[in-house]
Chains A and B, each alone.
Chain A
Amino acid sequence: MAPISYALRAEFDGTVTQELDDGTSVEVPAFTGGLITAGDRDVDIRVELDAGDGTIVVDDTADPALILALDNYPALKRTGTPEGSEPINPYANQPIANLRERATALGLELYGSPKKAELAAGLLAADQATASGDQVAGIQADGTLIFNPTEE
């Protein structure tokens, strides 16, 4: 995985002071937010920026739709990836039926009926492993992968 990271452009970063109708002032973020689609799912830019301490990290192998969406998002620019940061899991907020469908489409066996969180983690790990050349056979109940034996 080669993570790609995004942060707010300078004109959208920081805070501004709003003068309210009652005569008071309030300091608010210069970027209020935006909920966007990426493939078949929603991504809340403000929520993801706050969760990532000002940076959104995306897995370039598992999440091409989000990379395209964020590259076209006017308030964001590419930036360096902070050390130790984790990429957004593209499967995290999807219905479990969609996750099972995705596993089937990838030819992955599901062992022990993994729950939603474990299945989402397993699918991301499977995407990353496949991109590295590994052959994934399935996902276990705890989200760990089972690999096909490699040929000698």
Chain B
Amino acid sequence: MPLLEPNFYALWAGKQTAKGTPQATPIHRMVQVAGDFNMPRDDGQENWSDLTKYGNRTDWINSLLGNGEPGIEATPSELAFLLWIFHGAETVTPITGPPAAQKHTFTPAVGRGHYATFYSRVGQSVVRRQQHNDCLITRVQVEGSTANKAVRVTPRILSLDPGVIFTSDPTQALPTDKSFLYTDGVGTFTIDSVVFAGQSQFQFTIDDAWEPVFGDDIVPFDLVQGSPLVSLGVTVYFDATGLAEYNKLVYGTASPTVGTKPIKRIPALGSYSFDLVQKDSAGATTGREFKLTIPGVKWAVPDAPGPNPDGGATEVALAGEMRPLVGQQPYTIDVYTDNATVAFTT
């Protein structure tokens, strides 16, 4: 008997018209590279004595909730789709070209995202097919690095109606556009208005902090929002530029003089941005682009690089949180897709 083949798998998604109305024909297929969906059942119990050694227990189900954190390669249309589902809004404008494209812009929206249905299939001859309805993306993480150059988007998904069996795969094929690569952003990774060619990793997370609350059922009564947070993690090599950044955060100046002591106040806010411009095999721009701008970042003071008897490259990890600036969007994400991918509706 064959075993389920975990290296055969697929993931589709589509927007729902409303909560409780699953999308029957999802038109987005993701290049999934990590993670999965689960539907953990939380059981509760109460002990009581029946005058035996082990006693007895009353068991019940506390909650049944679907969740997933699939790691997905950031192909342009699918990245834009996931950001649209998460934000519940987008502003789409045409790029005149050539090449002509559509720019999908995302800034913080005030409400929830769109409800979506995710279809996951694992296996070739032994197949697990599960459809997760009434999904909301509660957090999005985008990351790229020197080590893994395919930029990855990882949505944190809550499903209020998880694990429904389906029998035939959606027909949507994989995207033809390639994923954005970390090296598409060469010369554009900018920390506090300084270009850092020695950046080896970035991780950008928007957490809208939606949490389920339960009433008289084991499925959620509703979702409530906690404390949303936009955070950023960047790793840079500790060269002269890295040292200057460290000095600014610790001493308040890029080049502290003799006797300078660590500052006793919060320094001015920093900033972060990049612009990944995709190119084809001939080096021509494809029109696909992925830009991030965070104008206000409060960086934490990083640890100073220590000695290492084995030598090697010295890096410093910067952790930051977004702080809003008056008159500016807290962050702006632009994703340029093919010209046919106009404003999403499904």
- On A, residues with C-beta under 8 Å from B are 12, 16-21, 28-42, 44, 46, 65, 68-69, 72-75, 94-95, 98
Q: In the complex, what residues of A have CB within 8 A of residue B93's CB? A: 12, 30-32, 75
- Roughly how many angstroms separate A15 CA and B165 CA in the complex, as a whole number? 47
When C-beta atoms are compared, the residue in chain A nearest to B329 turns out to be: A74
Q: In the complex, what residues of A have CB within 8 A of residue B84's CB? A: 35
Chain A min CB distance to B15 (Å): 8
Q: In the complex, what residues of A have CB within 8 A of residue B113's CB? A: 37
- Roughly how many angstroms separate A35 CA and B81 CA in the complex, as a whole number? 12
Q: Is the CB of A35 within 8 A of B345?
A: yes
Q: Is the CB of A18 within 8 A of B89?
A: no
Q: In the complex, what residues of A have CB within 8 A of residue B112's CB? A: 37
Q: Is the CB of B89 within 8 A of A75?
A: no
- Roughly how many angstroms separate A35 CA and B109 CA in the complex, as a whole number? 12
Q: Assuming the A-B contacts A32-B343, A35-B343, A40-B19, are A19 and B111 also in contact, with contact meaning beta carbons closer than 8 angstroms in the complex?
A: no
Q: Is the CB of A19 within 8 A of B102?
A: no
When C-beta atoms are compared, the residue in chain B nearest to A98 turns out to be: B18
Q: Is the CB of B344 within 8 A of A19?
A: no
Q: B64 on the interface (CB 8 Å rule)?
A: no
Excluding A37-B88, A44-B345, A74-B105, 16 further A-B contacts by CB distance (< 8 Å) are A16-B96, A18-B94, A18-B95, A21-B99, A31-B93, A32-B92, A32-B102, A32-B342, A33-B92, A34-B343, A35-B89, A35-B343, A37-B89, A40-B19, A69-B110, A95-B18
Q: Is the CB of B100 within 8 A of A30?
A: no
Q: In the complex, what residues of B have CB within 8 A of residue A42's CB? A: 17, 114
Question: What 9 pairs across the A-B complex have the smallest Cβ distances?
Answer: A33-B343, A37-B88, A36-B89, A32-B92, A18-B100, A19-B98, A19-B97, A34-B90, A75-B91
Mask of B30-59 contacts with A, CB within 8 angstroms, 1/0: 000000000000000000000000000000
Q: In the complex, what residues of B have CB within 8 A of residue A38's CB? A: 111
Q: In the complex, what residues of A have CB within 8 A of residue B17's CB? A: 42
Chain B min CB distance to A72 (Å): 5
When C-beta atoms are compared, the residue in chain A nearest to B111 turns out to be: A37
Q: In the complex, what residues of B have CB within 8 A of residue A33's CB? A: 92, 342-343
When C-beta atoms are compared, the residue in chain A nearest to B341 turns out to be: A32
- Roughly how many angstroms separate A35 CA and B105 CA in the complex, as a whole number? 12
Chain B min CB distance to A116 (Å): 13
Q: B231 on the interface (CB 8 Å rule)?
A: no
Q: B339 on the interface (CB 8 Å rule)?
A: yes
Q: Is the CB of A19 within 8 A of B100?
A: yes
Q: B183 on the interface (CB 8 Å rule)?
A: no
Q: In the complex, what residues of B have CB within 8 A of residue A69's CB? A: 89, 109-111
Q: Assuming the A-B contacts A20-B339, A34-B91, A37-B88, are A72 and B96 also in contact, with contact meaning beta carbons closer than 8 angstroms in the complex?
A: no
- Roughly how many angstroms separate A37 CA and B111 CA in the complex, as a whole number? 7
When C-beta atoms are compared, the residue in chain A nearest to B18 turns out to be: A95
Q: Is the CB of B343 within 8 A of A46?
A: yes
Chain B min CB distance to A69 (Å): 6
Which of A12, A18, A36, A41 interacts with B109 by CB under 8 Å?
A36
When C-beta atoms are compared, the residue in chain A nearest to B112 turns out to be: A37
- Roughly how many angstroms separate A28 CA and B46 CA in the complex, as a whole number? 65
15 interchain pairs, CB-CB under 8 A: A16-B94, A30-B93, A31-B91, A32-B92, A32-B93, A33-B343, A34-B92, A35-B90, A35-B345, A46-B343, A68-B110, A74-B105, A74-B329, A95-B18, A95-B20
